[in-house]
């Protein structure tokens, strides 16, 4: 091979190798969620109740601030959960993304409080629950914990998942918060 052919070959190889993309495309990079708010509005009359979790520095560092409040016994609440990234200014509302990508997200509610039930009142385009809007019903007085888990890419058709059972959901947990609750 002569010098000119070798130089031409090297130039072509260099040109082809420079045409590749430098950075891979990450289709759905995990969002930072610093804040979870659950607003419960009693069906009929009464004041709304806010349960909130805020961890502005993310995992580690300063402990999160958790605010809770007692729920009324034998009451039905219309509940709405909100997810925020308050490291952004103004705060980024992650809830909008969860709703837009409802087929890729589901909020799970697990209660150890006797008599408390949670029913989904929203759904994605495929008719599966999302969990941004729910109805939470309390029974008699008691206490326990309410855990809220946002899952990304759960298997919504797996056994029990559409009823709110996280056991077979799979996917990745975006945020999980446990509130200590008294029902009075």
CATH number at residue 65: 2.60.40
**Residue 9 included in any domain:** no
pLDDT of 21? 43
pLDDT given for residue 25 in this prediction: 38
Contacts of 145 (CB under 8 A, 6+ apart): 111, 112, 113, 178, 179, 180, 181
pTM to 2 decimal places? 0.83
Q: Give the closest residue to 151 by CA, choosing from 77, 101, 86, 85.
A: 101
160 located within any domain: yes
Rg (CA), the chain: 24
- Find where tokens 């992650």 sit: 94
- Provide the pLDDT for residue 29: 54
Measured over all CA atoms, what is the biggest interatomic distance in the chain, rounded to whole angstroms?
Answer: 91
In a domain, 131, yes or no: yes
Position 30 scores a pLDDT of 64
Number of domains making up the chain:
1
Q: Residue 96 phi/psi, 5° resolution?
A: -60, -40
Q: Is 158 part of any domain?
A: yes
105 in a structural domain: yes
**b/e string for 48-85 if b means 16 or more Cβ within 10 A?**
ebebbbebeeeeeeeebeeebeebeeebbbebbbbbbb
Residue with tokens 């709110």: 164
Tell me what pLDDT residue 1 has: 58
Q: Are the C-beta atoms of 77 and 39 separated by less than 8 Å?
A: no
Query: Which pLDDT does position 147 carry in this prediction?
Result: 98
Domain range enclosing 110: 32-183
Residues of the chain with pLDDT under 70: 1-30
């Amino acid at each position: 091979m002569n010098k000119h052919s070798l130089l031409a070959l090297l130039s072509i190889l260099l040109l082809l190798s420079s045409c590749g993309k430098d950075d891979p495309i990450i289709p759905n990079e995990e969002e930072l969620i610093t804040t979870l708010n659950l607003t419960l509005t009693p069906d009929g009359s009464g004041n709304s109740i806010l349960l909130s979790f805020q961890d502005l520095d993310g995992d580690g560092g300063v402990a999160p601030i958790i605010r809770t409040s007692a729920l009324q016994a034998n009451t039905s609440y219309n509940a709405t959960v909100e997810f925020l990234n308050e490291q952004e200014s103004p705060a980024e509302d992650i809830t909008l993304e969860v709703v837009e990508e409802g087929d890729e997200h589901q909020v799970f509610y697990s209660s150890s409080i006797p008599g408390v039930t949670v029913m989904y009142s929203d759904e994605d385009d495929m008719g599966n629950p999302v969990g941004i809007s729910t109805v939470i019903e309390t029974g008699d007085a008691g206490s326990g914990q309410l855990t809220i888990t946002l899952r990304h890419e759960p298997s919504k058709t797996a056994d029990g998942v559409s009823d709110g059972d996280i056991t077979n959901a799979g996917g990745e947990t975006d945020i999980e918060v446990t509130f200590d609750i008294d029902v009075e």
